[in-house]
Amino acid sequence: MAKVAIIFYSTFGHIEKLSKVVQEGVLSAGGKADIYRVEETLSEDALLKLGAPATSTEIPVAGKDVLEDYDAFLFGVPTRFGNVPAEWSTFWDQTGSLWVNGTLNGKPAGLFVSTASYGGGQESTISNCLNYLVHHGMIYIPLGYKNVFPELSNIEEINGGTAWGSGTLVGSDGFRAASKQELKVAKIQGQTFYNTIKCLYASETP
Ligand SMILES: Cc1cc2nc3c(=O)[nH]c(=O)nc-3n(C[C@H](O)[C@H](O)[C@H](O)COP(=O)(O)O)c2cc1C
């Protein structure tokens, strides 16, 4: 069975919540996924001023050993100016030795995001994440439309997910909770991802 790790960064908890739902999706497809967070780089003072909740200590921090040990990844990234947060690039900036040795080459990865609003960077954040994947030779597995066509094409209800990956819109004040539909899409992304990588690991998957 392919070993899947879900690695996320979350300041306000939205991506953390989505990570748990993506994990349920992997489980529902017969897989297993462990959740990790990347290290916080903001000072406690800065976090307090932002009104961020205390970082939960029960989720372990991912080091580059996690990237080495696992076969496949689902990465959760909140948007910053349509791009990745500093914490995300700091995490990848520590992976130079993996890059030189091609350790991650061929490992599959999917991505999910959160943004304040529509057009706030759902797709650009994921496409910027692809720089890391491409340089490491990883295989990007998009969500696509196949299993989420009704949800992603529903223009009656707002949804932070796209074919690039599931997502949630948190609103300009950051208080909007993920809708049922967004959570459904996140779960389907976990399922779809695991069903896709099952094929890649077919000879190893019982
Ligand atoms: C410095 C900063 C920049 C941000 N830039 C954007 C942005 O460009 N577009 C957007 O929609 N939301 C933006 N946001 C909102 C965040 O994406 C939102 O707080 C985040 O998705 C919440 O996820 P989390 O609870 O997992 O941290 C920004 C937030 C901060 C603090």
pLDDT digits (tens, 9 = 90+) for 96-125: 999 999 999 999 999 999 999 999 999 999
pLDDT band, very low/low/confident/very high, at 95 (cuts 50, 70, 90): very high
Exposure of 100 by Cβ count < 10 A (0-12 exposed, 13-18 middle, 19+ buried)? exposed
Cα angle vertex 186, ends 24, 106, to 5°?
Answer: 85
Helix (H) / strand (E) element for 23: namely helix 14-28
Q: How far is the CA of 137 from the centre of ligand 1 (A)?
A: 28
The closest residue, in CA terms, to atom 1 on ligand 1 is 80
In order of start, what are the domains of the chain with their CATH numbers? Answer: 4-200 (3.40.50.360)
Are 36 and 61 in contact by the 8 Å Cβ rule? The answer is yes
Measured from the CB, is residue 114 less than 6 Å from ligand 1? yes
Exposure of 94 by Cβ count < 10 A (0-12 exposed, 13-18 middle, 19+ buried)? middle
Percent of the chain topping pLDDT 70: 98
Ligand 1 atom with least separation from CA of 9: 26
Are 20 and 35 in contact by the 8 Å Cβ rule? The answer is yes
Query: What whole-number distance in Å separates Cα of residue 13 and Cα of residue 17?
Result: 6
Distance spanning both ends of the chain, measured CA to CA: 7
Query: What whole-number distance in Å separates Cα of residue 70 and Cα of residue 205?
Result: 14
What count of residues does the chain have?
A: 206
Measured from the CB, is residue 124 less than 6 Å from ligand 1? no
Query: Which of 21, 49, 89, 115 for a ligand 1 pocket mutation test, highest count of atoms within 8 Å of Cβ?
Result: 115
Query: What whole-number distance in Å separates Cα of residue 116 and Cα of residue 111?
Result: 17
Measured from the CB, is residue 189 less than 6 Å from ligand 1? no
Query: What whole-number distance in Å separates Cα of residue 203 and Cα of residue 206?
Result: 8
Q: How far is the CA of 79 from the centre of ligand 1 (A)?
A: 5
The closest residue, in CA terms, to atom 28 on ligand 1 is 80
Per-residue pLDDT at 204: 60
The closest residue, in CA terms, to atom 29 on ligand 1 is 80
Identify the CA nearest to 106 among candidates 136, 129, 66. Answer: 136
In this structure, what DSSP letter does residue 80 have? B
- Whether 30 has a pLDDT exceeding 90, the answer reads yes
Query: Which of 9, 15, 16, 81 for a ligand 1 pocket mutation test, highest count of atoms within 8 Å of Cβ?
Result: 81
pLDDT band, very low/low/confident/very high, at 203 (cuts 50, 70, 90): low
Quick one: angle between helices 180-200 and 14-28, nearest 10? 50
Are 176 and 170 in contact by the 8 Å Cβ rule? The answer is yes
Q: How far is the CA of 126 from the centre of ligand 1 (A)?
A: 14
pLDDT digits (tens, 9 = 90+) for 65-82: 999 999 999 999 999 999
Ligand 1 atom with least separation from CA of 168: 21
Query: What whole-number distance in Å separates Cα of residue 160 and Cα of residue 182?
Result: 7
Query: What whole-number distance in Å separates Cα of residue 100 and Cα of residue 98?
Result: 6
pLDDT band, very low/low/confident/very high, at 43 (cuts 50, 70, 90): very high
- Whether 202 has a pLDDT exceeding 80, the answer reads no
